[in-house]
Homo-oligomer: A and B are copies of this chain.
Amino acid sequence: MTSRHAAADQLLDVIATTRSIRRYRADDIPDADLADMLFAATRAPNPGNRQATRFVVLGRSASARRARRLLGDAYRSAWARKADGEQWWAGSGSDPTSRKARAGRAMQHFVESFETIPVIVLVCALMRLDPPPKHSLQMTPVFEWGSVFPACQNLLLAARALGYGGTISGWHESAETQLREELSIPDDVAISAIVTLGRPAGSHGPVRRRPLDEVVFLDRWDEPPSWALDPPGSLLRGGTMVTDGAAPGPEHTR
């Protein structure tokens, strides 16, 4: 990053190294750290200041253990369907050293050990307006996603800053009815996303992405500005590292 002041560089560094973590060490997360992460989550923006996002944390009670089991089963089914539907282990996935195969093994491990993930947070949204508006505005799903996902992102960034890692997922659909019953979640509350958290078993980031000049345009679609340069040290697709702030040619980035 261009150096301006330390706080900005640290924040940008946390953002650049917050990647999806799906393998966790067994360590529990201390309550004070959980409180800080959830505090950060509640500081996300929320359309119309409804503050309708809720967080159900699954700990170690008997009820939480049953909920974890329901989720684990749902996640294993969803991953099996996806891996099968996309023929995950064919093509490049058949080479065990490929990125695809490694990603597949991480996912397999994630769903197989779902019940033991240190912390599972159900990010929920009240689907009613409270208090009800005098002139009923229909709440759109988009409206709620605009609260739920920024909250998830704050949760992951705060986790990263405190030395944890996690990922956003949403494979709970087949377990939803039983999950509501087990956790007493009312019918008018959406279980919108699931964030899993723990001490990473491997290392954090950096995140690897398309070069900036493929995704940032100025004043017209597909026309990147001259300043759309990845900072030195960025990892691009294919594993190329930017060394001098200049975007490499496309041959390096696929």
Contact = CB atoms under 8 A, between A and B. Distances in A.
Contact of A158 (B15, B18, B168): B15
Contacts of A35: 212, 227-229, 231
A145 B141 CA distance: 10
A185 interface: yes
Given A57-B218, A168-B146, A39 B230 contact: yes
Interface in A131-181: 133-135, 137, 141-142, 145-146, 148-150, 152-154, 156-158, 161-163, 167-168, 170
Interface stretch (A4-12, A108-116, A196-204): A4-12
Nearest to A184: B221
A43 B145 contact: no
B227 A42 contact: no
Given A146-B193, A186-B221, A218-B59, A11 B12 contact: no
Given A12-B40, A55-B216, A137 B221 contact: no
Contact of A217 (B1, B4, B57, B220): B57
B225 A57 contact: yes
Contacts of A7: 10, 14, 161
**How many copies, total?**
2
A209 interface: yes
A219 B183 contact: yes
B161 A63 contact: no
Contacts of A11: 10-11, 14, 157-158, 161
Interface residues of A, number: 96
Contacts of A39: 1, 12, 16, 212, 230-231, 234
A34 interface: yes
A38 B212 contact: yes
Given A8-B163, A18-B45, 15 more contacts: A7-B14, A8-B161, A11-B157, A11-B161, A35-B227, A44-B153, A54-B215, A54-B217, A56-B218, A56-B219, A57-B225, A59-B218, A61-B218, A146-B149, A184-B221
